[in-house]
Amino acid sequence: MAATIRDVAQASGVHVSTVSRTFSAPHLVNPETRNRVLAVAEDLGYRPNRAARALTTGRTHNIGLIVADIANPFFPPLIKAAQAHARARDYHVFVADTDEDPQVEEELIQTLTKQVDGVLLCSPRLSNRAIERLHADVPFVVVNRRVKGMPTILMDVGHGARLAIEHMTGLGHRRIALVSGPSGSWTSGEMRAAATAMEGVDLVILGPNAPTEQGGLAVAADVIASGATGVLAYNDLVAIGLIEGLYERGVRVPDDVSVVGVDDIVSGRLNRPKLTTVAMPTAAAGRMAVDLLLQSVGDSATPTLATLETSLVVRESTGEVRQ
């Protein structure tokens, strides 16, 4: 017969409730006791019944993680970090992709509500009002979007945008194009606010644009027509597409136009020229989001706002302005 929780408790010399806590809330158990219980459970082949535990505790030990576009290289490091961090805390992560569609996002949240203990919303496209309404049914942590009264992880893209523009003005660029992202994007709004507040910059804003390489290709003609010698793109995918579109029109990067992306994805490092970019701490955001959500599920956290620092990585796509 399969080993039971009572078998593990008897063999470990602890109460049944201690065995239960070892699997449901390991951080509450003394490390020495926890390790002994886990070793005995492994020897006996004991596996906790997650469904039964959910009925008893009201917890599924599942987390929903919803992203705007799983094909965007920005998200996989965040997803992998969140999954590993959750797994170490005996939680499983269900990943879902909205394809940048707020209606799909709302449907996914409603579908996951009864199956998870909470949801990580990463770069959501829903309005703040809709997020607040849906939050009544399930705990949220929001990543890359500020929603009042909700645990939030922000990557300081506004600071990154300032660093990028200061870098380009230091190279002599004065007319700079901001190639923005999709309508309703918090990141795009932060970049715009930071750029428009900077002095000594002749700023032109182009957008909204799709947050993809195709979006960058499509805006290339507008960048040339704007007369900008420096460009800050919404993300690295847009920047890579833009560089390709400029080359197709005989405009060289960085000889004729300097381009800066945002995210520091792997393909930006492999592109030619290698992309100057604003590095975003996506893995750290994934881990911190899991911690905040589990605190929220445990009713031990008040709404928290955490802002993670961004940095500029200078490579080959920026250079001095041509005289």
pLDDT band at 53 (very low <50, low <70, confident <90, very high): low
pLDDT band at 299 (very low <50, low <70, confident <90, very high): low
User: Lowest mean pLDDT: which of 20-24, 120-124, 240-244?
Assistant: 20-24
- What pLDDT is stored for residue 218 in this prediction? 98
- What pLDDT is stored for residue 259 in this prediction? 98
pLDDT band at 298 (very low <50, low <70, confident <90, very high): low
User: Lowest mean pLDDT: which of 63-77, 136-150, 300-314?
Assistant: 300-314
pLDDT band at 51 (very low <50, low <70, confident <90, very high): low
Is residue 8 within 8 A of residue 40, CB to CB? The reply is yes
Give the sheet arrangement for strand 311-313, strand by strand.
202-206, 175-179, 230-233, 258-263, 276-279, 311-313
The pLDDT mean for the chain works out to 92
Q: Which residue has the higher pLDDT, 57 or 70?
A: 70
Averaged pLDDT, 119-125: 95
Does residue 274 register a pLDDT over 90?
yes
161: Cα separation from own chain's centroid:
17
Does residue 114 register a pLDDT over 80?
yes
Give the residue from 151, 92, 86 showing the smallest Cα distance to 121.
151
What 3-state class would DSSP assign to 243?
helix
- What pLDDT is stored for residue 323 in this prediction? 73
Give the residue from 312, 320, 322, 310 showing the smallest Cα distance to 170.
320
What does the block give as tokens for 197? Answer: 């507040």
Averaged pLDDT, 192-196: 97
- What pLDDT is stored for residue 23 in this prediction? 79
What percent of the chain is predicted at pLDDT more than 70?
95
- What pLDDT is stored for residue 57 in this prediction? 56
Is residue 62 within 8 A of residue 91, CB to CB? The reply is yes
Maximum distance among all alpha carbons in the chain? 83
Please report, for residues 116, 139, 176, 255, 323, the alpha-carbon distance to residue 171 in angstroms, rounded to integers and kept in the order given. Answer: 50, 46, 12, 12, 11
Averaged pLDDT, 221-225: 98
DSSP H or E stretch at residue 248: helix 236-248
Adjacent-strand bridge partners of 204: 177
- What pLDDT is stored for residue 47 in this prediction? 79
- d(Cα 149, Cα 37) in Å, to the nearest integer? 39
- What pLDDT is stored for residue 304 in this prediction? 86
Please report, for residues 153, 179, 213, the alpha-carbon distance to residue 206 in angstroms, rounded to integers and kept in the order given. Answer: 27, 5, 15
